[in-house]
């Protein structure tokens, strides 16, 4: 579970923009400006640009 305080301050490491928290079978932070998806593994956000996934246009 991601801490509420973290949700207030976390930003995209590439553009410094807002991130959307996505929770389903897996958890992610999505940057719709950069079209990148940052995975959350074992409750730890992996905010490395080279490990981000590319968002598809229909992902939201």
Q: Looking at residue 47, what is its pLDDT?
A: 98
First to last CA, the chain: 20
In the chain, where the domains are located: 4-54
Q: What is the CATH number of domain 4-54?
A: 2.20.25.10
Q: Looking at residue 56, what is its pLDDT?
A: 87
Q: Looking at residue 58, what is its pLDDT?
A: 63
State pLDDT tens for residues 18-38. Answer: 999 999 999 999 999 999 999
Q: Looking at residue 2, what is its pLDDT?
A: 85
With 80 as the cut, is the pLDDT of residue 57 above it? no
Half-sphere exposure of 17 (CA within 13 A, CB side): 13
- Structure tokens belonging to residue 21: 């928290």
Contacts made by residues 8-11, CB under 8 angstroms, sequence distance 24+: 10/45, 10/47
Spatial CA neighbour of 31 closest among 1, 6, 47: 47
């Amino acid at each position: 579970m991601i801490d509420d305080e973290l949700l207030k301050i976390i930003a995209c490491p590439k553009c410094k923009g807002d991130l959307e928290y996505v929770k389903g079978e897996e958890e992610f932070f999505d940057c719709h400006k950069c079209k990148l998806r940052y995975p959350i593994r074992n409750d730890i956000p992996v905010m490395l640009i080279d490990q981000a996934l590319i968002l598809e246009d229909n992902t939201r």
